[in-house]
Amino acid sequence: MSNRVYNFAAGPATIAVPVLEKAQQELLCHGADGMSVMEMSHRSGMYLAIYERAEALLRELMAIPENYTVLFLQGGASMQFAQVPMNLMTVTGTADYIDSGNFAKNAIKEAQRYGKVNVVGSTADIAYSRIPEISGVNDEADYLHFTTNNTIFGTHFWQLPQTKAPLVTDMSSSILSKPYDVSKYAMIYAGAQKNIGPAGVCVVIIRNDMLEREPMAFTPTMLKYQTMAKAGSMYNTPPTFGIYMAMLTFEWLKELGGLEVMEKMNREKAAVLYDYLDSQSYYIAPVEKDSRSMMNVTFVTGDKDLDKKFAADAAKAGLVNLAGHRLVGGMRASIYNAMPKAGIEKLVGFMDDFAKANPKA
């Protein structure tokens, strides 16, 4: 415990200590079940109790309406980049996509292999430094896809895109960071490895009418949402331990007071960092203020060598994984739900010391 660092990785990311401690305690023997959760048959009563608790807690935390199905799948968000069009781009064969960052772009590229994609907004030309304006939306599109929080660039959709088409969103890096009105979306998906638990689980929350769309003929059986919805995510063996870890995270969030409380904490945490960034001129925060993410905070010194030194020196001080994504460089502090305020305060202290110790040429 005492030698744990502050881990600012973008995902897989830091996990709340009480969640890890509970998992550790139960690792060889879960309650009176006589075995580790990892060893449980996914169809046993003891495991189904865990699965059902995970789903019930997620429904409660996010206030998911009854006409939505919750799935725990494999493959991460990247698998969804194909699964979404294969399952849902099947009425008119067209969909609107917003290009707000690297993962949004990957989603677009994959969708283009399955139908006609209209890109209705992009900030690629300004290095994704804000959420795009959108224009030319097609209300008759099979759906409009966007990325709620852009992990690499540190931007967040604070306003929903306006369209009559069903909204499908990749919420990987901001799910559970605050309440979202699920009823506004046709589908939400999220890789677990940021705010939910370990990598290898992807949560899908889908409105039941979307399940009526007939998937493309070549869709692998287990990639049809219909298959998994009918089987309660257990067409085949699900990632049982990852779902258990998700359940422990949901319990932790509930005990904290739920997503309103979490949002308040996240706003306070992000303010510590953004207020500091806005108060000085050594570091530059490239994202426009009204697009700023509470989960991923990007900044640069303006000098690539200093950026490198920053990440290296920070790691020595127990503040790790602060280098920006390999595609963009600079620095990025991912401050998900599980990052304590103390970690951010320590980071800001370090930033200030570093600026003084490393004047720019």
Q: Round to whole Å and give the CA distance between 144 and 5.
A: 40
The residue among 131 and 245 lying less far from its own copies, judged by its C-beta, is 245
Our CB check for its own copies shows the closer of 148 and 163 to be 148
Choose the stretch contacting its own copies; rule: CB under 8 A; options: 152-160, 180-188, 281-289, 320-328: 320-328
Q: Are 101 and 153 in contact (CB under 8 A)?
A: yes
Q: Footprint of its own copies on residues 142-161 (CB under 8 A)?
A: none
Nearer to its own copies (CB atom), residue 223 or residue 295: 223
Name which of 41 and 280 has its Cβ closer to its own copies: 41
CB contact burial 178-213 (16+ within 10 A = b; e otherwise): bebebeebbbbbbbbbbbbbbbbbbbbbbbeebbeb
Q: Which two tokens stand for residue 331?
A: 């620095």
DSSP state of 4: P
The residue among 29 and 127 lying less far from its own copies, judged by its C-beta, is: 29
Burial class (CB in 10 A: 0-12, 13-18, 19+), 24: exposed
**Which of 49, 53, 59, 79 is in the footprint of its own copies by CB under 8 A?**
79
- Per CB under 8 A, does 308 bind its own copies? no
Rounded CA gap, 317 and 357, in Å?
14
Interaction between residue 92 and its own copies (CB under 8 A):
no
Give the Å distances, CA to CA, from 56 to 60, 70, 82, 170, 250.
Answer: 6, 9, 28, 21, 10
The answer to whether 38 contacts its own copies (rule: CB under 8 A) is yes
Footprint (CB under 8 A) of its own copies, residues 202-241:
216-218, 220-223, 235-241
Binder of its own copies out of 154, 166, 191, 324 (CB under 8 A)? 191
Between residues 74 and 138, which has the closer beta carbon with respect to its own copies?
Answer: 74
Give me the least distance between CB of 178 and its own copies, in Å please: 22
Among 53, 78, 118, 358, binds its own copies (CB under 8 A): 78
Least spacing, CB of residue 257 vs its own copies, in Å: 24
- The verdict on 21 binding its own copies (CB under 8 A) reads yes
Q: How many residues bind its own copies (CB under 8 A)?
A: 71
CA distances, 321 to each of 221, 335, 340, 351 (Å): 38, 11, 16, 14
Q: Read out DSSP for 101-114?
A: SHHHHHHHHHHTTT
Q: Give me the least distance between CB of 183 and its own copies, in Å please.
A: 29
CB closer to its own copies, 119 vs 234: 234
Q: Position 134: which residue type?
A: I
Smallest distance, its own copies to C-beta of residue 275, A: 27
Taking CB under 8 A as the criterion, the residue among 55, 58, 76, 285 binding its own copies is 76
Check residue 112 for interaction with its own copies (CB under 8 A): no
Is 326 a residue that touches its own copies (CB under 8 A)? yes
The strand pairing partners of 116, in sequence order, are 94
CB atoms within 10 A of CB 165: 21
Which residue lies nearer to its own copies by CB, 217 or 357? 217
Q: Which of residues 39-58 bind its own copies (CB under 8 A)?
A: 39-44
For residue 314, count CB atoms less than 10 angstroms from its CB and return exposed for 0-12, middle for 13-18, buried for 19 or more.
Answer: buried
Q: Which is nearer to its own copies, 188 or 243 (CB)?
A: 243
Asked if residues 249 and 324 have their Cβ atoms less than 8 Å apart, the reply is no
Judged by CB under 8 A, the chain residues 159 through 178 that form the site for its own copies are none
In 3D space, the residue among 286, 64, 75, 86 whose CA is nearest the CA of residue 175 turns out to be: 64
